[in-house]
Amino acid sequence: MKKFLIFCFFTLFISGCSLNVSDLNEGSQIVISEPALINEIAKSVEPAIVGINGIKNDTSSVGSGVCVTKNGYVLTNSHVVNDCDQIILYLSDKTTTMAEIVYEDTMLDFAILQSHKSLPYLALGDSDEIEVGQDVLAVGTPLSLTLIHTFTKGIVSATNRTLKVNSSSGEGYMQNLIQHDASLNPGNSGGPLINSKGEVIGINTLKISSGEGIGFAIPTKSFQSLLNSFVSEINYSIPYLGVYGLDNEIANFNGKSILTEGFYIIDIASNSPLKQIGIDKNSVITKINNKKISNTLDLRDELYKFKSNDIISIEFYKDGKFYNAKTKLV
């Protein structure tokens, strides 16, 4: 039976509406003392979680998001807000505020918004510490904004999952996803996956519609260093490598496996700075600044610690040999 992927957002027809906006001056981190009951965790984290209405022309996408910094940065999915003319956040105190996109990756299906108002925020948990079988909460806005802050409970079913998807950037792979069985429905997109500490360990993005309880979340390691760079530097300039690649596991499926670890380059742009040092298709990146690169997660985590015009050293494998070289990010 063919499996279909459902991105968890909901599109509806918009008519006239009025919004009641009031001041919300919260900028503190929500901290939960362990051990805590599920209902205590849910009550505590709710103020940091938002419903999202992304308006484009006469249609609107309904999704979810979570604030994770005192600066009002809200994480969500790209497909919830992509190309929207207006983005409205629905808050736990029944008020609303506006937001803008400050970063978007359509292939990863990830976006960072900045809220016009300061919000309470949750800490990011370490997705490397996730264990299969641990309890998780998924929070979102299923089907309609009237169902904002819906909580569902489940367990982590697996880690490091890879799915082949189609996005506005073309066909590709979403790699290193967290698989879980907490219930997801259209509108849950962009909502957080939360652990027993009340930390965000992932951003819910899609489910397999032909099965039951097969949902996926983007792990925090995919975007944590990127978010830190945005927070620490007002005019952060995102570094560019100009490569598309796969983990060893997927490379093996495609008959391209050479090493047991590393980032396998499948395609490289003509303006990639890596071309200047001899990296091309079928090369494998194994280290950046002496930091081991085992997979796509490692590459993202290390790359986004730098910015455009930084010089980095790269170890790569090509034609049976390892090479070390330096290149300037663009």
Residue of 61, 64, 78, 79 marked catalytic: 79
How, if at all, do strands 10-13 and 59-67 pair? antiparallel
Residue 106 maps to a domain: yes
Candidates 60, 61, 92, 109; catalytic one: 109
CB contact set of 37 (below 8 Å; sequence gap of 6+): none
CATH number at residue 63: 2.40.10.10
Catalytic residue status for 109: yes
pTM: 0.86
Dist CA 327 CA 101 (whole Å)? 30
* Confidence category of residue 8, pLDDT binned at 50, 70, 90: low
Q: Which residues contact 112 (CB under 8 A, 6 or more apart)?
A: 73, 74, 75, 101, 102, 103, 104, 223, 226, 227, 230
Domain boundary, last residue among 64, 87, 115: 115
Strands 215-219 and 200-208: antiparallel
49-78: pLDDT as tens digits: 999 999 998 888 899 999 999 989 999 999
Could you please report the per-residue DSSP string of 118-130?
---B-PBP-GGG-
Marked catalytic residue, from 92, 118, 183, 189: 189
Identify which of 217, 226, 205 has the alpha carbon closest to the alpha carbon of residue 68.
Answer: 226
> Among this protein's residues, is 189 annotated catalytic?
yes
Please say if 225 is a catalytic residue. no
Residue 250 lies in a domain: yes
What does the pLDDT read at residue 87?
A: 98
Burial of 10 (0-12, 13-18, 19+ CB in 10 A): buried
| Residue 234 confidence class, pLDDT cut points 50, 70, 90 | confident
Expressed as residue numbers, the domain containing 267 is 237-328
Q: How many CB atoms lie within 10 A of CB 325?
A: 14
For the chain, what is the domain count?
A: 3
- Tell which residue, 172, 133, 1, 9, has the closest CA to residue 77: 9
Q: Cα–chain-centroid distance for residue 55?
A: 21
Statement to judge: residues 320 and 282 lie in one domain: yes
CATH number of the domain that 305 lies in?
A: 2.30.42.10
